[in-house]
Amino acid sequence: MGEDSLFILPWFQLGSVQLTSTVVTTWIVMASLGCLCWLATRHLQMSPGRFQTLVEAIVSIIEASIRDIAPQHVRQILPFIGSLWVFLVIANLIGLIPGMHSPTRDLSATAAMAFLVFLSVHWYGIRIQGLKNYLLHYLKPSPILLPFNLISEITRTIALAVRLFGNMMSLEMVALLILVVAGFLVPVPILMLHIVEALVQAYIFGMLALIYVAGGLQSQQLRLQKQGEDHA
């Protein structure tokens, strides 16, 4: 880890267009995940091997987490939340590879993911509830709360981006400072801290995204529950 590792340096620049290490690392992560998904689904078997068993276990864990928050929309939400979780885990941990850094320590990357979550919340809400029913939930429990509901949509998106960026950047800053002061005498505790923090931050970001998406579907779930109670 060099002294300039805290700065996002451009790899290529053409006029005002810059290709930063964040973009390159993100492409590497996406390409790697695409290849892994292709390999995992290429030869599915009724009696799975170790690799297929591992993949199925990961999918089952993510599915169970989604079912706890939004049990009626697991199939719709699973592809997005599952992809987001897996991407964040790899993106956070890739900084352990010498010469590379986590793209999530770049505010532009975390802001892009937070904006993707923002769009997904509305996309799922409109797709499942319909435009009219989805927009009406901003007027509940009282139309007076409409401005506050709109402001909360913006503020929580900003907080989502800044939280992940701040934690990943501070983690790399602490690791750099410790290495500068103590040299390479304490690499193992730093690596363990990085791994644990990377996994925790990926889980928190993915769980918050899941809660936001489920919150946009809350009115639909309440309506279905009310219909069930009326039939009962």
User: Nearest CA to 91 among 179, 165, 19?
Assistant: 165
User: Nearest CA to 219 among 116, 118, 131, 159?
Assistant: 131
Contact call for residues 2 and 99 (beta carbons, < 8 A): no
Contact call for residues 105 and 172 (beta carbons, < 8 A): yes
Cα separation, 155 vs 150, in Å, equals 9
Neighbour count for residue 96 (Cβ, 10 Å): 15
Q: What distances in angstroms separate CA 149 from CA 111, 123, 146, 154, 163, one per listed residue?
A: 20, 17, 5, 9, 21
DSSP H helices in the chain: 21-42, 50-69, 74-93, 107-129, 131-136, 146-182, 187-216, 218-231
Identify the domain containing residue 91 by its residue range.
3-231
- Give me the pLDDT at residue 168, please: 87
pLDDT in tens, 167-213: 888 877 776 676 666 655 556 666 777 788 889 999 999 999 999 98
Three-state DSSP state, 4 = helix
pLDDT in tens, 116-159: 999 999 998 888 888 887 888 788 778 888 888 889 889 999 99
Sequence-ordered list of residues with C-beta below 8 angstroms from that of 52, at least 6 positions apart, any chain: 40, 44, 45
Global pTM value: 0.82
What's the chain's average pLDDT? 81
Tell whether omega for the bond before 141 is within 30 degrees of 0, i.e. cis. Answer: yes
User: What is the domain count for the chain?
Assistant: 1
Cα separation, 171 vs 97, in Å, equals 15
User: Nearest CA to 112 among 45, 171, 217, 26?
Assistant: 26
Three-state DSSP state, 14 = strand
Cα separation, 104 vs 207, in Å, equals 16
- Give me the pLDDT at residue 97, please: 78
pLDDT in tens, 70-112: 888 888 899 999 999 999 999 998 877 777 788 898 888 999 9
Cα separation, 182 vs 187, in Å, equals 9
Determine the residue type at 137: H
Name the token pair of 219: 């009115």
